[in-house]
C-alpha cells in the first residue's frame, strides 16, 4: 500500500551480483518527493543496473527496494505491473519504434494497456508533445528527428501514463552542448509541471550540476558520497574529486572497472 509520507524511492542495503561478480554492494538511497537525484560513475560501475533494480526488472541479491513505502523486492510479476504503471523510463537511445510515427510512439502504452478511450488518445498525445516542445511532429518518423528531438519524444512517452517517478538513463548522451542543456532544462521544468520525482543516471557532471538536487558517486559497487554536486566537488575523497574533475590520474584509474555493470 502506498505511503504518501514515505520516500518515492528507497533502497536499503541493496546488493546485486551476476555470475559471481559483485556489481552493487550494500547501497542505501532515499529519494524525496519531487527531488531530482543523479547517479554518477564511470562506465561499467552499475548505474544502469541500479535503474533496472528500481524498476524491479531484475531482483537484488540482498537488500530491499521500496517504492512509495511499499516493499517491492519480492512482489510477483502481476503485482509489479501495478508499481511500474506509476514509473516512467527514459532510455539512453530513446528506444523509439522506428516503424511508428511520433504520435504512435508516444501513445503506445495508452493503446497497449487501453488506458484511454481511443478517441481521447490523440488529444493526450498532443498535450504530451506540447509539454516537451515537440508540437506538430505527430506524423514524423524517428529517422526524421535529431538526437535531441528523439530524446524529447522518449520523455513524452515516459510521461504518457502520468507516472509519479521518472527514471532517466543517460538523457544527454550523444547530444551537442546546446541540445543537452535544453534536455536538462526540460527535466527541471517537468518537476513542477507534472510533479514527478526523478532519478538520473549520467556520467555528465555538467548536466547533473544543472539539474540535480543531489548526486551520488558510484564506484566499485558502492556510493562514495551523496550530496549536492557543488559540495561533492570539495569532497575529501580522492576518487570523488577525480571523477568530478575528470582527471586521468587517481584511484578510479588505478582500480579496475567492473564489466557489464551498466
- Give the pLDDT means over successive 10-residue stretches in the chain (262 positions): 78 94 94 96 88 96 96 94 93 87 93 82 94 95 94 94 94 91 94 93 91 94 92 89 84 59 56
Q: Residue 57: CB partners within 8 Å, gap ≥ 6?
A: none
Q: What strand order describes the sheet that includes 62-67?
A: 21-31, 9-18, 62-67, 70-71
Look-up: residue for cell 502481476?
A: 78
pLDDT at 221: 92
pLDDT at 101: 96
Helix 121-131 × helix 147-158 angle, to 10°: 130
pLDDT at 3: 58
To the question of pTM greater than 0.85 for the whole model, the response is: yes
Answer yes or no: are the C-beta atoms of 216 and 225 closer than 8 Å. yes
Q: Residue 134: CB partners within 8 Å, gap ≥ 6?
A: 102, 149, 152, 153, 156
pLDDT at 45: 83
Amino acid at each position: 500500500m502506498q505511503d504518501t509520507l514515505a520516500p518515492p524511492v528507497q533502497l536499503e542495503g541493496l546488493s546485486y551480483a551476476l555470475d559471481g561478480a559483485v556489481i552493487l554492494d550494500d547501497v542505501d538511497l532515499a529519494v524525496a518527493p519531487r527531488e531530482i537525484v543523479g547517479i554518477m560513475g564511470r562506465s561499467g560501475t552499475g548505474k544502469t543496473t541500479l535503474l533496472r533494480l528500481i524498476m524491479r526488472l531484475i531482483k537484488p541479491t540482498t537488500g530491499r527496494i521500496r517504492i512509495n513505502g511499499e516493499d517491492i523486492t519480492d512482489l510477483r510479476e502481476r503485482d509489479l505491473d501495478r508499481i511500474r504503471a506509476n514509473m516512467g523510463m527514459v532510455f539512453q537511445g530513446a528506444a523509439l519504434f522506428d516503424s511508428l510515427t511520433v504520435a504512435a510512439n508516444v501513445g503506445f502504452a495508452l493503446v497497449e494497456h487501453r488506458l484511454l478511450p481511443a478517441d481521447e488518445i490523440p488529444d493526450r498525445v498532443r498535450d504530451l508533445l506540447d509539454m516537451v516542445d515537440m508540437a506538430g511532429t505527430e506524423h514524423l518518423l524517428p529517422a526524421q528527428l535529431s538526437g535531441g528531438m528523439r530524446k524529447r519524444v522518449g520523455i513524452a512517452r515516459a510521461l504518457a501514463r502520468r507516472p509519479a517517478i521518472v527514471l532517466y538513463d543517460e538523457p544527454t548522451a550523444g547530444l551537442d552542448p546546446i541540445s543537452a542543456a535544453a534536455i536538462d532544462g526540460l527535466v527541471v521544468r517537468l518537476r513542477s509541471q507534472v510533479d514527478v520525482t526523478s532519478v538520473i543516471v549520467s556520467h555528465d557532471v555538467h548536466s547533473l550540476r544543472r539539474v540535480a538536487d543531489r548526486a551520488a558517486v558510484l564506484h566499485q559497487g558502492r556510493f562514495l558520497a551523496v550530496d549536492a554536486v557543488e559540495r561533492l566537488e570539495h569532497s575529501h575523497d580522492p576518487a570523488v574529486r577525480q571523477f568530478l574533475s575528470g582527471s586521468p590520474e587517481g584511484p578510479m584509474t588505478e582500480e579496475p572497472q567492473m564489466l557489464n555493470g551498466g
